[in-house]
Structure 1
Amino acid sequence: MSILTRIRQINRRRALGWAAFSYAVAVLSGAFLGAEITLRSKTRRVKGEFVPVGRRGNSVYLPASPETLSRGVVGIVPLLPNKGHAVLGPPKLAGTLVRRDILEERGVLPNGSLAWVSTFVYNGTPGQLGIDYEATSVHTEVGNMPAWHIPAVSGERDAIAIVIHGHGGQRAQALRMLPALRRSGVASLFVTFRNAHGAPRVGKGYLSLGDSEAEDVIAALDWAKAAGYGRAMLYGFSMGGNVALSVLRPRHQPYPIPVTGVALDCPALDWRDTIRSNGQRYGIPGFMARHIGNFVQYLVTRRSGQDFDVVDQLAAAPGFRVPILLWHGTRDATIPIRQSDALARLRPDLVEYHRVEGAKHIRCWNIDPAKYDAELEAFIGRVLPGVGV
């Protein structure tokens, strides 16, 4: 019997039924996984890879991988035989290896060591940069949130930057920007929020994508006021950007101290769009990604009571009243750059927008650190005039 004959003998109604069932199982499986990641994602370690290191003079040779081949600078921390840290320049192929030149080095990065390498550059505390800091905590209604306080170089307690990590992120991911913050003259408070790694768990441990987390940033402003600071800017990464913009909602005002500006790095501005986009990111066809995305939203709302309208910052944009510094990378596969494009279009009177060619999610700094730092320092000088003088 030929194959065509066998195909003709298949019961079409039964085949369609099995196809529909298989499709439904795929959509439901994807949606349940997506909802779990959306509600609970958190990591214990800063993302990176462990690699063997070959060193010759001021050059380091690493196995080729997505992390070691990433555009711009990376950081490397040797695990054995001793501790140290180095910042490595852009990659160059050397046969089957990747060569990067050492730009900065603290301690020793020995030949033959096993090391952690990452586009996040640092994986420790401000002490990894040789900067003094205070390990403190921000008191909130749901518990004490761990934080790092880095005083201004001048010692003056005038202005402070509240630095907010992202979804599943950690404070160390923003240490790349700490030298620029220090040069600008501001103090810094690197905060955590409820249900993130190391912070108190509330209820079932669900994130609210920027809504209730904003209350923890308001508590950080209370901390800053009690510590003697008189004004602040907010600096948010990814979901931390949504948290920062949620602080601008009228229900959180007046603030304990004035908030005069907001800096955003690859912010999550529209979670519905982000959920749909992340479905397609893994090769799921567009129509299926839409179905999965819609069901993820339903499950998230059903499980946690999440109101996606409350964290839709594009809809809220007409109400923003403070200057916004915005970076977004054109290769961001986590948060679609079209969201930042839309915010810049909606509020050209407030938004200073830097569209960074070739940058991945919250890796804009890595492409051109000097340029990024200069933009950050200039913005701080504009929204916190007189700081550091």
Structure 2
Amino acid sequence: MKSSPAKIVLATGSAIVLVLLLLVVPWIFSSKALYPEWGREGLEDCPGTRGPAWGPRCGNIEHLETYRYTEESFPSEDGSYATPAWHIPAAQPIDLGAHWRFSEALPETLAGWERAAARPVGFRLPPGQFAAIFVHGGGADRREGYRFIAFFLRHGFDYYMPDLVCHGRADCPERGLSFGVREHQDVLNLYRVLRARYRGLILAGTSVGSNSILVALPEMDDGVVALAVENPMFSLTRFVEETPAAPAVFPTLYRDYLAWMVGLRGGFDRQRSPFQALSGLETGPPVFFMHSREDALIPWEHARDLSELYRGPHQLWILEQGGHARLWNADPADYERRLEAFLKPLLPQS
């Protein structure tokens, strides 16, 4: 008995929809997650909103005369690759006027920076004794940390700005963003070297950089004074379930399938996450969790729930303004005042 044309059309249409839902859509979604379109090799490209957010010359200090720096390389434990970074020593003059002086600067950020620069610092460490490391977000590179150079140098910290694996000038032994799983090894590469060089370390990060720091935390046994993590992700699965960046029509079960596809194609364990890392810790260094209600990528509740999970000393700051990885830009003066207040009791005072 032959099928009617209507049934054939229905069966064909159903098959096409099934292929789209199970293969095509997950492939497109996972490709966007694993290979961010704004990610570029090298440190020259400056698309979209990076310039106004990252600073003069898109935060590339190689094209500026504002800060003295050296290029360093931090090998992995097995020697298979190395993490490149800028090292900016605290023992140098700081031109606060030049730090955020450029034509693309947004008026509100510039005004906030001028207030921050005019405020005397609450403490200053002896140069060369403590260091701060800034870990950039996914699809970005070391230049994203330019914003914080003046803050850390004014307080006496040597400052390190690394490129995560497959970002900027870093090696790329296995392509694809892993949301902190592979990237946390870069954090450990710097940690192993710098903990022997300094009395103490501050680790700061944003987005995937925050994930990388938190995933690495159980493997850092000493030398860490504090962490400052912006808009961290609770876990990849929860991120895919809740991100406003995914179509709202996708049900939770289907979003879980998308998260599974991201981990499968990316070749990493998607269960490894800040949630998993903090769940296994009884204590640890003080952590400053920060997030914004305006974050259009990772809901602010991720930072709240991680702070509630963490058994070590911690503070939580939920901003009303500031986009994803743009907390400092919303109000530099308030950001730096709060970060200083968090760090000051943890450090020796001169």
Q: Offset of 1:307 from its aligned partner?
A: 1.5
| Equivalent position SS for 1:345 | helix
Q: Is 1:152 paired with 2:90?
A: yes
Q: Distance in 2 between matches of 1:321 and 1:315?
A: 11
Q: Offset of 1:139 from its aligned partner?
A: 1.9
- Greater strand proportion: 1
Q: 1:197 to 1:336 in 2, by over 3 A?
A: same
Q: Distance in 1 between matches of 2:210 and 2:82?
A: 21
**Structure 1 letter corresponding to 2:30:** A
The aligned runs of 1:254-333 (5 Å cut-off) are: 254-255=221-222, 258-278=223-243, 280-287=244-251, 290-291=253-254, 293-313=255-275, 316-317=278-279, 319=281, 320-333=283-296
Q: Offset of 1:315 from its aligned partner?
A: 6.5
Counterpart position of 2:115: none
Counterpart position of 1:235: 204
Q: 1:11 to 1:142 in 2, by over 3 A?
A: same
Counterpart position of 1:38: 33
Q: Distance in 1 between matches of 2:277 and 2:224?
A: 21
| Equivalent position SS for 2:54 | coil
Q: Distance in 2 between matches of 1:179 and 1:337?
A: 27
* Contact 1:40/1:206, CA 8 A, preserved across alignment: yes
Q: Offset of 1:312 from its aligned partner?
A: 4.1
* Contact 1:239/1:267, CA 8 A, preserved across alignment: yes
Q: 1:347 to 1:294 in 2, by over 3 A?
A: closer
Q: Which has the higher contact order (CA 8 A, sep 6+)?
A: 2
Q: Distance in 1 between matches of 2:290 and 2:45?
A: 21
The aligned runs of 1:191-270 (5 Å cut-off) are: 191-202=162-173, 204-225=174-195, 228-249=197-218, 252-255=219-222, 258-270=223-235
- Alignment RMSD: 2.8
Q: Is 1:339 paired with 2:336?
A: no
Q: Is 1:25 paired with 2:26?
A: no
- Identify unmatched segments of 5+ residues in structure 2: 93-125
Q: Distance in 2 between matches of 1:376 and 1:153?
A: 21
Q: Distance in 1 between matches of 2:69 and 2:338?
A: 24
Q: Offset of 1:26 from its aligned partner?
A: 4.3
Per the normalisation by structure 1, the TM-score is 0.70
* Contact 2:287/2:314, CA 8 A, preserved across alignment: yes
Q: 1:23 to 1:277 in 2, by over 3 A?
A: farther
Q: Offset of 1:253 from its aligned partner?
A: 4.2
Q: 1:12 to 1:341 in 2, by over 3 A?
A: farther
Counterpart position of 2:68: 132
What is the aligned counterpart of 2:315 among 336, 352, 360? Answer: 352
Identity %: 23
* Contact 1:46/1:172, CA 8 A, preserved across alignment: no
Q: 1:143 to 1:358 in 2, by over 3 A?
A: same
| Equivalent position SS for 2:59 | coil
User: Which piece of structure 1 moves more, 211-220 or 359-368?
Assistant: 211-220
* Contact 2:214/2:274, CA 8 A, preserved across alignment: no
| Equivalent position SS for 2:201 | strand
**Structure 2 letter corresponding to 1:261:** A
Counterpart position of 1:93: none
**Structure 2 letter corresponding to 1:296:** L
Q: Offset of 1:10 from its aligned partner?
A: 7.9
Q: Offset of 1:282 from its aligned partner?
A: 4.8
Q: 1:35 to 1:364 in 2, by over 3 A?
A: same
Q: Offset of 1:20 from its aligned partner?
A: 5.5
Counterpart position of 2:116: none
| Equivalent position SS for 1:294 | helix
**Structure 2 letter corresponding to 1:235:** A
Q: Distance in 2 between matches of 1:129 and 1:282?
A: 42
Counterpart position of 1:143: 81
Q: 1:302 to 1:346 in 2, by over 3 A?
A: closer
Q: Offset of 1:17 from its aligned partner?
A: 5.4
Q: Offset of 1:14 from its aligned partner?
A: 4.3
Q: What are the Cα deviations for residues 291-340 of structure 1, in whole angstroms up to 9, with x where unaligned?
A: 1x333333233334422222142672461511111211111111121111
| Equivalent position SS for 1:30 | helix
Q: 1:144 to 1:374 in 2, by over 3 A?
A: same
Question: Which is greater in Rg?
Answer: 1
- Identify unmatched segments of 5+ residues in structure 1: 1-8, 50-66, 68-115
| Equivalent position SS for 1:193 | coil
Q: Is 1:366 paired with 2:329?
A: yes
